[in-house]
A = this chain, B = another copy of it.
Amino acid sequence: MSTSRYDFKETDPFAPIVYIYQNTALLHEEKTEYQALQVRQHPYFGRMLILDGVVQLTERDEFFYHEMLVHPVLHAHPDPKHVLIIGGGDGGSLREVLRHKGVESVTMAEIDARVVAVSKEYFPTLRTGFDDPRAQVIFTDGIKHVEAPPRLYDAIIVDSTDPVGPAVNLFSADFYKAAVEALTPNGFFVTQSESLMFHAGFVSEVHNRLKAAFPIADCYAQAIATYAGNWWTFSVGSKELNPRTPKRKPRIDTRYYSSEVHRKAFLPGALMKKLAAGTIDW
Binding site for B on A (CB under 8 A): 7, 9, 16-22, 42-45, 60-61, 63-64, 195-198, 221, 223-226, 228-231, 255, 258, 260-261, 264, 268-271, 281-282
Contacts and interface: CB of A to CB of B under 8 A. Distances in A.
Nearest to A228: B225
Copy number in the complex reads 2
A205 to B, nearest CB: 19
A21 B225 CA distance: 17
Contacts of A230: 223-225, 230-231
B223 A61 contact: no
Contacts of A61: 197, 282
A270 B258 contact: yes
A270 B264 contact: no
A282 B221 contact: no
Contacts of A22: 18
A196 B268 CA distance: 21
A199 to B, nearest CB: 11
19 contacts: A16-B44, A17-B19, A17-B20, A17-B21, A18-B20, A18-B22, A20-B20, A61-B197, A61-B282, A63-B282, A64-B282, A223-B223, A223-B230, A224-B230, A225-B230, A225-B231, A230-B231, A260-B270, A264-B264
